[in-house]
Amino acid sequence: MGTTFDSIARGLNEAVEHAKGKKVAVKMYKPEPIDVSALRQNMGMTQEQFAARFGFSVATLRHWERGDRTPQGAALVLLNVIKRAPEAVKAALN
- Residue 44 pLDDT greater than 90, yes or no: yes
Question: pTM of the entire structure?
Answer: 0.70
pLDDT in tens, 2-13: 778 888 888 888
Domain boundaries, the chain: 1-30, 36-93
Q: Work out the average pLDDT over 38-65.
A: 97
Superfamily of segment(s) 36-93: lambda repressor-like DNA-binding domains (1.10.260.40)
94 vs 91: CA distance, rounded Å = 5
Q: Work out the average pLDDT over 63-84.
A: 96
Per the CB < 8 A criterion, the answer to whether 71 and 34 are in contact is yes
Please state, as a whole number, how many other Cβ atoms lie within 10 Å of the Cβ of residue 79.
Answer: 23
